Amino acid sequence: MSISSSMDAFSPTLRGPAVFVALFLCVTLCTVYSPLISCIVAYVGKSVVALSLGAFISIVFNSYLEKLFGSAKGKTVDPQGRAVFVTGCDTGFGQELAHRLHKLGFYVFAGCLSESSPGAETLRAKGKAEDRIEVVECDVTKNQQVIDCAAKIKEQLRAKKLELFALVNNAGIVSYCEFEWVPVEDYEKLMDVNTLGTVRVMKAFLPLLRESAGRIVIVASLSGRYAIPGMVGYSMTKHAQIALADGLRRELKKFGIKVSLVEPGAYKTTMNDAAVGLSAVDKHWQNSSEEMRTFYGEAYYAAFKKHLEKVSASSCARLSEPVDCMEDAVISEHPKLRYVPGSTGARLRGFILPFLPYCVQDYLMKMAAAPAVPLCRNA
């Protein structure tokens, strides 16, 4: 067998462990000859060093590694006779993905919270013109509606002689506010949409995916890897989605079903609109008890809102990046297990930060928090 064919046979799934083992051995040898490296390794551990170096090398030198190991990048599946169901298509990533998949030749079932939303109307108009996009109303918090949606799609698949090839769990909501200011009901809603909504949809559509040995794409967030101050509730729900994806990837492998995670950072979508976020913060602040407002003080409240505006303004405007990853997870012959869209810096944070010591993580996360301190701390 030639070197080239050997590289092609090297499964993408094995590259991560192979790099890890090689780096682990290198670190072990270096500790023998370098006292400095020995001290570093003794503090953070060989595994953390190897993982960090592996993440750095795989991200910074990604294109070179793909060439070296004969990546399957560019090999895509045939869309003919295949359908995709995408949730959260009213706006943002979901709507853009629906348009892209339709253009590529897939039959797209676009799940929208409301059939009368502007986004749904746009998709419906394209569907009438080209007959390969169908808008379906799907509120992921309503179990019966999700079940009815799956039944309707199953009927359409049979009638059009299609198979459900992919399910993209994209529907989600966000909350940016101090933990204490947010009522329990809002945390329940976050879980209901982001986490349990994903569970409802997958349970309803898994029978169809088992028939096709298809794939699942879950749009989580980097906030699920490390909790950001002011986004505790959102991070909690996204952490649960990541655990769900990891578990199902292993559990559904016996059926030939692939599961991919897409973990965007902050992008300029409707969810991250400053006006929407500020309105929610105002509501929570006003509904908080007088004791709570006195404890934090108006200065902290104003500083928190200013920080929210800054975070929203710094959000990435390149919305195509997450959608590129979502698209690849659907169409690639060998989709990645995890996608982290964005700059090299963003991907380094996504891969390395969770492995740093907690004291270092806490220091870095403190830099992402509102800069002011509550009034009571100044008393």
Residue type, 263: E
For residue 363, indicate whether it is catalytic: no
Q: What is the largest CA-CA distance in the chain?
A: 75
Q: What is the pLDDT of residues 77-108, one digit of tens each?
A: 999 999 999 999 998 899 999 999 999 999 99
Strands 163-169 and 215-219: parallel
CA 309 to CA 311: how far, in whole Å? 5
**Residue 40, pLDDT score:** 56
Hey, what CATH topology would domain 82-377 get? Answer: Rossmann fold (3.40.50)
Extract the tokens encoding 363: 């220091």
Q: Judge whether 259 and 245 are in contact, CB under 8 Å.
A: yes
CA 292 to CA 375: how far, in whole Å? 11
Which pTM does this prediction carry? Answer: 0.79
- In three-state secondary structure terms, 83 is strand
Rg of the chain's alpha carbons, rounded to an integer?
23
**Residue 227, pLDDT score:** 86
**Tokens 């004791």 sit at which residue?**
291
Extract the tokens encoding 138: 């799907």
Residue 298: CB atoms within 10 A of its CB come to 11
The residue length of the chain stands at 379
Residue 78: burial class (beta carbons within 10 Å; 0-12, 13-18, 19+)? exposed
CA 329 to CA 283: how far, in whole Å? 38
- In three-state secondary structure terms, 334 is coil
Catalytic residue among 107, 176, 226, 234: 234
Sequence ranges of the chain with CATH classification 3.40.50.720:
82-377
Tens of pLDDT along the chain (379 residues)? 333 333 333 344 444 455 555 555 565 556 555 665 566 555 555 555 566 666 666 655 655 555 555 444 568 999 999 999 999 999 889 999 999 999 999 999 999 998 888 888 888 887 666 778 999 999 999 999 999 999 999 999 999 999 999 999 999 999 999 999 999 999 999 999 999 999 999 999 999 999 999 999 999 999 898 888 889 999 999 999 999 999 999 999 999 999 999 999 888 887 878 888 999 999 999 999 999 999 999 999 999 999 888 888 888 888 899 999 999 999 999 999 999 998 777 777 777 787 788 888 888 888 777 766 666 655 5
Strands 338-339 and 258-262: parallel
Residue 103: CB atoms within 10 A of its CB come to 13
DSSP string, 205-239: HHHHHHHHT-EEEEE--GGGTSPPTT-HHHHHHHH
CA 284 to CA 290: how far, in whole Å? 12
- In three-state secondary structure terms, 285 is helix
Closest CA to 374 of 287, 302, 284: 302
Angle, CA of 60, 63 and 64, to the nearest 5°: 90
Sorted by sequence, the CB contacts under 8 Å of residue 95 that are 6+ apart come out as 89, 110, 119, 122, 123
Q: What is the pLDDT of residues 294-331, one digit of tens each?
A: 999 999 999 999 988 888 888 888 889 999 999 999 99
Beta strands in 131-280, from DSSP E residues, in sequence order: 133-137, 163-169, 215-219, 258-262
